[in-house]
Structure 1
Amino acid sequence: MSLLIKNIKKLIQCRTEKTPFVSGKDMSFVPSIDNAYLVIKDGKINDFGKMQELKKINTDQVIDAKDRMVLPSWCDSHTHIVFAGDRSKEFIDRIKGLSYEEIAARGGGILNSAKLLQNTSEEDLYNQSKMRINYVIRQGTGAIEIKSGYGLSFESELKMLQVIKQIKDSSKMQVKSTFLGAHAYPNEFKENKDGYIDLVLNKMLPAFKKKNLIDFIDVFCEKGYFSPEDTERIIKEGLKYN
């Protein structure tokens, strides 16, 4: 299968040399070509350049971009797109500069989201999350990472990861699943933080990995949550499952 996109007003993020990544000041430079074409063969970029450089070519499909821009899809490497209910008020609080601790003190935050999720069925959670996934796809996202972490119990973390697996299996978009059981301490473990870490490491992690529900693990290393020492302990345990 081959495709030619022609008359592109601006072809964005086109590099003639292999560039594994960019960082620092280099991120401010976005290479582009005006009045461009793009050739794709078997799902891979085969050729690109200025329209005046395009040689006669036969392709299975031709798209006339008609002065539109063409750019790569977004790769969203950090999301919490699987959650229950509405968290818009907390997003506004964060924009206003409130810390996670301040939001939690007002009854919001991770524990509030966990309570909502624990009371939501897996089917409802999937339907809510699938709507968000479809929205970000329409906005141009082509690959996404999704974290758990609003379950904070074996049953609810499992529910989240199973929903992420359903999204992964049903979506054309590339999806990676991250286990974030160490997102906050549930109320019942406030006085036994080591006990919760043991639950994450000795019950959740091996069971979820055995079910093939995890691509990565993460830890919320933040004041009032998990310390650098806790984080190191959890990450080292996760390395055993590579």
Structure 2
Amino acid sequence: MKLLITNIAQLVNTREQSKVLRGKELAELPIIQDAFLQIENGLIAGYGKMSQLKELDIESSWEMLDANKACILPTWCDSHTHIVFASSREDEFVDKINGLSYAEIAAKGGGILNSAKKIAASSEDALYAMAWDRLQKLIQLGTGAIEIKSG
């Protein structure tokens, strides 16, 4: 299958070479304004500015999609998440940035042992439902691949 997406306001993270980025390179985010994207058999086959589109040999069998000035960017890969939990610990985060140690937070009744108690007191169905809601929110925010950790 061949797909041509046209009228893209911004095509984000376009790089000529696939390589590991280090240091200052991590701050670079190449963007093509007013772009097209060509996909063949599920892989990126070409891209460029709309002004270059006339150089393509477009076949009538191609599926055409007008992005209508939308932005296209890669999805995020979140390789370390903890989305299965019974309750939030943001109050502990505030304590931590205010200088409390993990031992002091635990002494106040917080910490990982408190989290473990709350998980043990929750049903598997309830934990699943909460994790599912969190996963849907991550997808809405642009996550395309996720690894879910325990503990």
2:130 equivalent in structure 1: 128
1:12 equivalent in structure 2: 12
Deviation of 1:91 after TM superposition, in Å, equals: 3.8
Q: Which has the higher helix share?
A: 1
Q: Separation in 2 of the partners of 1:2 and 1:100?
A: 55
Secondary structure of 1:15 counterpart: coil
Secondary structure of 1:127 counterpart: helix
Unpaired segments of 5 or more residues in structure 1?
150-242
Deviation of 1:74 after TM superposition, in Å, equals: 0.8
Which letter does structure 1 place at the counterpart of 2:82?
A: H
The TM-score with structure 1 as length reference comes to: 0.55
Per-residue CA shift, 1:128-177, capped at 9, x if unaligned? 1011001100111001121101xxxxxxxxxxxxxxxxxxxxxxxxxxxx
Q: Separation in 2 of the partners of 1:60 and 1:95?
A: 55
Which letter does structure 2 place at the counterpart of 1:140?
A: G
Which letter does structure 2 place at the counterpart of 1:57?
A: I
Q: Separation in 2 of the partners of 1:91 and 1:5?
A: 44
Which letter does structure 2 place at the counterpart of 1:108?
A: G
Greater RCO between the two (CA within 8 Å, min separation 6)?
2
1:139 equivalent in structure 2: 141
Question: Please, what is the CA RMSD of the aligned residues?
Answer: 2.0
Secondary structure of 2:131 counterpart: helix
2:22 equivalent in structure 1: 23
Percent identity for Structure 1 against Structure 2:
51
Q: Which has the higher strand share?
A: 2
Count of residue correspondences: 148
Which letter does structure 2 place at the counterpart of 1:137?
A: I
The TM-score with structure 2 as length reference comes to: 0.85
1:3 equivalent in structure 2: 3
Which letter does structure 2 place at the counterpart of 1:130?
A: W
Aligned pairs for 1:15-164 within 5 A: 15-19=15-19, 21-54=20-53, 55-58=56-59, 61-94=63-96, 96=98, 98-149=100-151
Unpaired segments of 5 or more residues in structure 2?
none
Deviation of 1:18 after TM superposition, in Å, equals: 2.1
